[in-house]
Amino acid sequence: MDIRKGDRLVMKKKHPCGANEMIVLRTGMDFKLRCAGCAREFMIPRSKAERSVKAVSRPDEGSEGSEGTEDTEGTEGGRS
Number of domains making up the chain: 1
Domain annotation covers residue 37 = yes
Lowest mean pLDDT among 38-42, 45-49, 67-71, 73-77: 67-71
Give the structural domain span for 38. Answer: 8-70
User: What pLDDT is recorded for position 59?
Assistant: 78
Of all residues in the chain, the percent with pLDDT exceeding 90 is 65
Establish if 75 belongs to a structural domain.
no
- Per-residue pLDDT, 67: 46
Position 55 pLDDT exceeds 90: yes
Q: Cα–Cα distance between 76 and 47 in angstroms, integer?
A: 38
Residue 65 burial (CB count, 10 A) = 11
